[in-house]
Amino acid sequence: MSSGLANPEFVRLGEALQARDGAQARVRRAAATVACAVPALRDRLPVLADLPQLAVSFSPTALGDRMEAKYGGHRHGVPCRVAVSVLTLPTGGEEYLRGRSRQAVRTNSTRAAAAGVTCRRMGRVEAEVRITAVLRARGEEALVESVRDDLQTGLVQAWLARDADDVTEVVALTSVDGPFARLDLMLAAPGRETGPSRYLLSAHLVAELAARGVGHLAVDTALFLEPGLRHFQRLLGFEPMTLDLARGPQPDDDCPAPRVSPASGPVPTVSADPRASRAEERVAASVG
């Protein structure tokens, strides 16, 4: 049986969750009634228990607070730390493109580079201008303010893939807390959603983050991914993992052991009680 994002049971679980949310939005049924109406959801919960566990210690800083806020809560009743799409980074960025499993990334990156596409980091002002333009062109005006707030905190880094005429192809935001990084956003300009530039920018991010000592790059729970985005993440090498969260210094710095995050512990049952979506969840859903 296929593993990771391609596991049929995992895919069907995600589809069941999304169907459940759609039903709730339409008819506003009680949570218990909805849970009973989707027995497939309960039947497939064991697939979550089989996911790899990744221990993550967030620093006692504003970055750590931000990371815990992203992964310590719930989204539509599902713990945000469960089934998170995670890419394990190689020690050297050049190693990422090796092997048969990265054929699609190599091919598309080569195509983009041959067409004159280049990637680089952006400053805050340029990032605000370019990302705002992409969001508005995509009809996602509601996300502009939250992205601007993220940039102004200085806790995120902005990245750009541009063509030979300096036209925006793809934009991305990342945040880094020690060896753990989050891909907060990746958006292609209209008409470029299926182009090769997003592969080139992804490979560029891997190389840059690996050079900084980052070991894992995470997005959000993969349970709500659309099929096309799930396929893209799988080609990049992302796999669903459950995060075991802690707060405090890194274990090897001779400081006391980090405290366990309230959001950690055994993998909980997926709740049927939906939570209102926040702007940050909509941003994360745009990654890909």
Residue 20 pLDDT: 64
DSSP H stretches of helix in 60-123: 62-71, 103-114
Burial annotation 239-254 (CB, 10 A radius, 16+ → b, else e): bbbbbbbbbbeeeeee
Residue 159 pLDDT: 98
CB contact at 8 A, 16 and 9? no
pLDDT tens over the chain, length 288 residues = 456 887 888 888 788 777 765 544 443 333 333 344 334 444 556 778 788 999 999 999 999 999 999 999 888 778 899 999 999 999 877 889 999 999 999 999 999 999 999 999 999 999 999 999 999 999 999 999 999 999 999 999 999 999 999 999 999 999 999 999 999 999 999 999 889 999 999 999 999 999 999 999 999 999 888 889 999 999 999 999 999 999 876 545 444 444 444 444 444 433 334 343 444 444 444 555
DSSP codes joined into one string, 78-102 = EETTTTEEEEEPPSSGGGGG-SGGG
Residue 6 pLDDT: 79
pTM for the complete prediction? 0.79
CB contact at 8 A, 153 and 136? no
Residue 138's CB is within 10 A of a number of other CB atoms, namely 15
Give how far Cα 234 sits from Cα of 68, 96, 128, Å. Answer: 25, 14, 29
Could you tell me the domains of the chain?
Answer: 52-285 (3.40.630.30)
Residue 275 pLDDT: 40
End-to-end Cα spacing for the chain: 25
CA dist 238 and 163 (Å) reads 26
Residue 26 pLDDT: 41
Residue 279 pLDDT: 43
SS3 assignment for 193-218: CCCCHHHHHHHHHHHHHHHCCCCEEE
Residue 27 pLDDT: 35
Cβ-based neighbours of 42, under 8 Å, separated by 6 or more = 35
Per the structure block, which two tokens stand in for 240? 């669903």
